Amino acid sequence: MTTLEAAFARTRAEGRAALVAYLPAGYPSVRGGIDALVAMVDAGVDVVEVGLPYSDPLMDGPTIQAAVEAALATGTRTADVLATVEAVARTGAATVVMSYWNPVERYGVARFATELAAAGGAGVITPDLTPEEAGPWLAATFDAGVDPVFLVAPSSTDARIARVAEVTRGFVYAASTMGVTGARDQVSDRAESLVARVRAATSLPVCVGLGVSTAAQAAEVASYADGVIVGSAFVRRLLDAPSAAEGVAAVAELAAELAAGVRRP
């Protein structure tokens, strides 16, 4: 059983959805990002997404872009991402990397998968990599023992969902809406039907992301999905914090609120 499989088996046994949280590595610093993520795990996060900062983030909204640009400006590199994964994985939380394909390809496909596994990483979410172009990556992740996670969206056909489910391991990432990341007043009403369509194609856990920022939204998504993914809301807490220490406290507070949300009956 992989770390991701164990995480979802545990939350399923507890009768609830998993709380999946994202922060980009290197913000507000490498150490500061690690401290924030560890605090979030302590407050109830089940699965951690460590973002690999990239200069052309097609899916990221302005909140995440601001943090990513700051991380790149201070020199955050792939080695720092792997160090962040290693530190967070030591908490016992399933830890994955969220990365656009170009940085992985530049680093070396097999090298990235192997070094991620050595750091304790459980998988990689690659939002801009299609199954048709993923052959070398699927081979590398299989050899390294890490899970490749692909995305589906409301616009995905049933055939596309089936194809994604065929190559995905760990969980399927269901983007609740078309467009970039960012907290929203409400989660798309197309998310629930998308989850149902994915479940018709696979027994893998289905996690919903893009838009969740409150405990009430987390509870809503948790009522029909296996996992609730939150990113921009955590990043916003760090961006707005007057100091690194206050940022850690702010994301821990939000994590506790969201963890209570996914645990609501």
Residues with catalytic roles: 49, 60
φ, ψ of residue 223 to 5 degrees: the values are: -70, -20
User: What DSSP state is assigned to residue 227?
Assistant: E
Sole residue written with tokens 């999905």: 225
Which ranges constitute the DSSP H helices of 108-231?
109-118, 135-144, 158-167, 191-199, 215-222
Q: Look up residue 45 and give its two tokens.
A: 């996060």
Report the C-alpha gap between 234 and 251 in whole angstroms.
Answer: 6
Instruction: Give yes or no for a contact between 137 and 126, defined as CB atoms under 8 angstroms apart.
Output: yes
In this structure, are residues 151 and 173 in contact, taking their beta carbons and an 8 Å threshold?
A: yes
